Amino acid sequence: MEATTLQPVKNFINGQFERNGQKSMDVFDPSTGAVISTLPMSGAAEVDAAVQAAKAAFPAWSGLTLKERVQVFFKYRSLLEQHCEELTKLVSLENGKTMGEARAEVMKSIELCEFAVSMPQIINNEIQEVSRGVECRIERRPLGVVACITPFNFPNMVPHWTVPNAIVLGNTVVLKPSEMVPLSTVRMAELLKEAGLPDGVFNVVNGGKEVVEAICDNSEIKAVSFVGSTKVAKIVYRRSSANLQRCVALGGAKNHLLVLPDAHLQMTANNVVASMSGCAGQRCMAAAVMVGVDAVQPIIDRMVEEAKLIVPGDNLGAVISKEAKERIEGYISEAESQGAKVLVDGRNATVEGKEDGFYVGPTIIDHVTPDMSVATEEIFGPVISIIRAKDLDEAIQIENNSNYGNAAAVFTQSGGLARRVMDKASAGMIGVNIGVPVPREPFSFGGWNESKFGVGDITGKSSIEFWTQNKKTTTKWNPEDKTNWMS
């Protein structure tokens, strides 16, 4: 395999790329294990420089009308479309997902931009004559400098969950991408500049924990969005809120699919296996636990057949790192040693010509009990744990006991039973006969319980509330009327 080597990644501050972190870290191609670039491990000084640039850009940017601001994103959306294949390759290269999955991610970013440019049609500021001659109006105003912190699993899409909406609504942004996947945001910065975004409106500071801490501690940053693991979401939510920033922090997941015996055999097997193995199981919406209610053996048998058609390096991408591969395999071995039955085993997967790549094959573990770590902890790999339940009430109870609450789904042909799961599941996003129930724009994305901290969701209409504050104005203009006057 010929290794790809790219230019070292630089920070993007005030419209310029600059390399100013003292330390640097390697960027890997997970499919080969080769180093493909490096990134600067920045700190508080770089965050401060980005914040100053964003602060300086704020008055002019927020002074434009919403209709003017969205024009940049009409152009940017076209550029995403124009560069779709190149961006797809970049996502696949740095994240390890398949080209098809990477393409779907870029397409989703395009859809997110379509929502952002539709803001002028969605936002209707309120106005009412509350008393004769007296009007109250509410307008949405931006917050100022805001920050977005993103994870490794969707290098292109997750930054697009927040950045277009925050900017279109008049804020200026500092983005901190995952240090595992810094390449996609370099192109994001270049293309936003090409689309005409003024310098300083969008800035990227690369690095790890130090950058995140500096963001949370910076009082000039008014709001922080975070997407990542629950452990870090809690740290960020607490630290950011303690600094009086507005914060929404999305965490990890352990999504339960409740499979009933009347579920459509082939469709259910396909959906469950696709949900647990798509993006190598590194989706916060991936199926992690299947709760099989009563007589579901034929569905499990078909799932095994389906899983065997999934081939690492072909229709299954790599996981992000060597550590991730070891962690995932460790969970499988632990479950096996505790008495669970591994029906399809993805340990020790290798791909010819990419022997150093971080691959784990699809894995189905049956007869898992609710107390095992594979039943409760986020594995974040192409692994599904099957817990058997005697009836729907027990299945719902198992789902409700999870600390997480991103997604849950039910597979059945009974409308009544599906409705019961919709009512009782303790999760923010519910699927009926769908394994990855991601709400599409304009519906908003966000979980419950320890899958999200803060008010509101991160995308869609809900994000408008997060990235703006209301200005309430009361006016009176016709003293001639002299009726019902407020003082």
Q: Does 21 bind ligand NAD (CB under 6 A)?
A: no
Residues 6 or more apart whose CB falls under 8 angstroms from that of 126 comprise: 136, 137, 138
Binding mask 285-324 for ligand NAD (x = CB under 6 A): ----------------------------------------
Q: Does 449 bind ligand NAD (CB under 6 A)?
A: no
Contact pick of 192, 212, 224, 332 for ligand NAD (by CB under 6 A): 212
Q: Does 329 bind ligand NAD (CB under 6 A)?
A: no
Sheet with 145-149, strands from edge to edge, namely 16-18, 11-13, 202-204, 172-176, 145-149, 221-227, 246-250, 452-453
Binding mask 101-140 for ligand NAD (x = CB under 6 A): ----------------------------------------
Contact pick of 108, 140, 176, 256 for ligand NAD (by CB under 6 A): 176
Q: How far is the CB of 207 from ligand NAD (least distance, A)?
A: 7
Measuring CA to CA, how many Å separate 430 from each of 46, 108, 273, 397? 40, 20, 17, 16
Q: How far is the CB of 404 from ligand NAD (least distance, A)?
A: 9
Residues 6 or more apart whose CB falls under 8 angstroms from that of 258 comprise: 291, 293, 392, 395, 396, 399, 408, 409, 410, 411, 421, 425
Quick one: which segment of 84-92, 149-157, 288-296, 387-395 binds ligand NAD (CB under 6 A)?
A: 149-157
Q: Does 379 bind ligand NAD (CB under 6 A)?
A: no
DSSP label at residue 312: B
Give the separation between CA 210 and CA 483, rounded to whole angstroms. 61
Contact pick of 451, 459, 463, 468 for ligand NAD (by CB under 6 A): 451
Contact pick of 106, 201, 223, 253 for ligand NAD (by CB under 6 A): 253
Helix axes 265-277, 297-307, angle to 10 degrees: 50
Catalytic residue among 113, 148, 279, 284: 284
**Is 284 part of the annotated catalytic residue set?**
yes
Q: Which two tokens stand for residue 58?
A: 């704020």
Q: How far is the CB of 158 from ligand NAD (least distance, A)?
A: 6
Contact pick of 90, 186, 235, 307 for ligand NAD (by CB under 6 A): 235
Q: Does 23 bind ligand NAD (CB under 6 A)?
A: no
Q: How far is the CB of 435 from ligand NAD (least distance, A)?
A: 16
Give the separation between CA 347 and CA 210, rounded to whole angstroms. 34
Give the separation between CA 73 and CA 106, rounded to whole angstroms. 15
Quick one: which segment of 59-67, 69-77, 249-257, 263-271 binds ligand NAD (CB under 6 A)?
A: 249-257
Quick one: which segment of 196-204, 229-237, 269-277, 356-364 binds ligand NAD (CB under 6 A)?
A: 229-237
Quick one: which segment of 151-159, 342-350, 362-370, 387-395 binds ligand NAD (CB under 6 A)?
A: 151-159
Contact pick of 179, 306, 329, 450 for ligand NAD (by CB under 6 A): 179
Query: 144 vs 447, which CB is nearer to ligand NAD?
Result: 447
Q: Does 428 bind ligand NAD (CB under 6 A)?
A: no
Exposure b/e, 400-431, CB count within 10 A at least 16 = b: eebebbbbbbbbbeeeebbebbeebbbbbbbb
Q: Does 456 bind ligand NAD (CB under 6 A)?
A: no
Give the separation between CA 215 and CA 222, rounded to whole angstroms. 10
Q: Does 325 bind ligand NAD (CB under 6 A)?
A: no
Residue of this chain nearest to ligand NAD (CB atom): 228
Where in 51-70 is the site for ligand NAD (CB under 6 A)?
Answer: none
What does the chain come to in residues? 487
Q: Does 349 bind ligand NAD (CB under 6 A)?
A: no
What's the distance, CA 259 to chain centroid?
26
What's the distance, CA 471 to chain centroid?
30
Q: Which two tokens stand for residue 483?
A: 């009726």
> Do residues 426 and 400 lie in contact, with contact meaning Cβ atoms separated by under 8 Å?
yes
Where in 386-415 is the site for ligand NAD (CB under 6 A)?
Answer: 406
Query: 151 vs 361, which CB is nearer to ligand NAD?
Result: 151
Helix axes 183-194, 84-95, angle to 10 degrees: 160
- The torsion angles phi and psi of 228, rounded to 5 degrees, stand at 175, -150
Contact pick of 37, 98, 109, 178 for ligand NAD (by CB under 6 A): 178
Q: Does 144 bind ligand NAD (CB under 6 A)?
A: no
End-to-end CA distance of the chain: 79
Q: How many CA atoms lie within 13 A of 5 on its CB side?
A: 2
Query: 250 vs 418, which CB is nearer to ligand NAD?
Result: 250
Strands (E), 372-459: 383-389, 407-411, 429-432, 452-453
Q: How far is the CB of 125 from ligand NAD (least distance, A)?
A: 30
Task: Please report the DSSP string for 173-221 in residue order.
Answer: EEEE--TT--HHHHHHHHHHHHTTPPTTSEEE---SHHHHHHHHH-TTE
Judged by the rule CB under 6 A, the positions of this chain that interact with ligand NAD are: 149-153, 158, 176, 178-179, 208-209, 212, 227-229, 232, 235, 250-253, 284, 378, 380, 406, 447, 451
Catalytic amino acids?
284
